[in-house]
Each structure stands twice: as structure tokens, then as C-alpha cells.
Amino acid sequence: MKKKIALGILILLVLIQFIPVDTTNPTVDTQKDFITVTKAQQEVAQILKTSCYDCHANETAYPWYFKIAPVSWWLKNHINEGRRELNFSIWGDYTAKRKDKKMKECIEMVQEGEMPMWSYTLVHKDAVINEAQQKLLVDWFTTLRTGDAN
């Protein structure tokens, strides 16, 4: 019985590898990108690209383990959800109110250490934000706040 269950799981694991996961990025219009639109300074841009853009922009770098289901499903879900919440690539399309709301949320997420996601920084050590970087981000996000979302 145990052998059959193990075999069943193994077959299932092999079969799910054939379910395609989309790893193409939507085209990026840099004119709409957050960094371009807000004229973010180099350091801020660098932190965002390293710590946020894999999930919150259309510039995801898909690692090798993205070829393995169900890991790929789990990761793809983060990307889909992340982009839905906040997509820096289409910043130019956001309304003033949405922009302000997102900046408010970003400040909270970064201050509370909730973003980048802990599971992400486990693998991407360079995405960990130190105190100085945290301050840079929060200061920049605060500068961009307009109060429209209040």
C-alpha cells in the first residue's frame, strides 16, 4: 500500500511538470516605469530593482527552479499577486489617488519589514534591505506622497 502511494505521488510529480507555466514578461514601457516617472535616484532605483521588481514589475528574472512544479506554481502566484497589488512597470497609468495609496502601503511594508517577502530573501540574500536602505526607500516614498489617498 505504502509503495503504491509513493509511486502514485511520484507519477503525479512527473506529470505536473508538463503543465506549462508562463515565464514570459509583458513588454515594458520604460516611460511608464516608476523609476523613470519619479526620477528616482540611482541608489533607490537599485534597491527597488534588487528587492521588489521580481514581483512588483514586469521585469521578473525567472530562476532555474522555476522549471520545477509545484515550486513554480507557488512562485508564479506571488508574482501574479504582487503585480496585481502594485506594478512599478505601469506606474504612469495609475491615478494620483492610487499612486498615493501605494506609496502609503510601501512605506508601511518596508518599515514593518514585511516586504520584500521573507521567503524571497531566504534565497535572494542581496534583496535584504538594511537600515540605511530602508531609510532611503521610506524617505523617497514619503517625498512622493500627495495626500490624495487620505
The footprint of ligand HEC (CB under 6 A) covers 51-52, 54-56, 78, 81-82, 85-86, 102, 105-106, 109-110, 115-117, 120
- Name the residue nearer to ligand HEC (CB basis): 69 or 88: 88
Tell me if 141 sits within 8 A of 106, measured CB to CB. Answer: yes
Closest separation in Å from C-beta 24 to ligand HEC: 18
Angstrom distance (rounded) from CA 44 to CA 24? 26
Closest separation in Å from C-beta 95 to ligand HEC: 16
Angstrom distance (rounded) from CA 132 to CA 110? 12
- Name the residue nearer to ligand HEC (CB basis): 18 or 42: 42
- Name the residue nearer to ligand HEC (CB basis): 9 or 132: 132
Tell me if 146 sits within 8 A of 139, measured CB to CB. Answer: no
Find the radius of gyration of the CA atoms of the chain: 18
Find the distance separating the first CA and the last CA of the chain, reported in whole Å: 61
Closest separation in Å from C-beta 20 to ligand HEC: 21
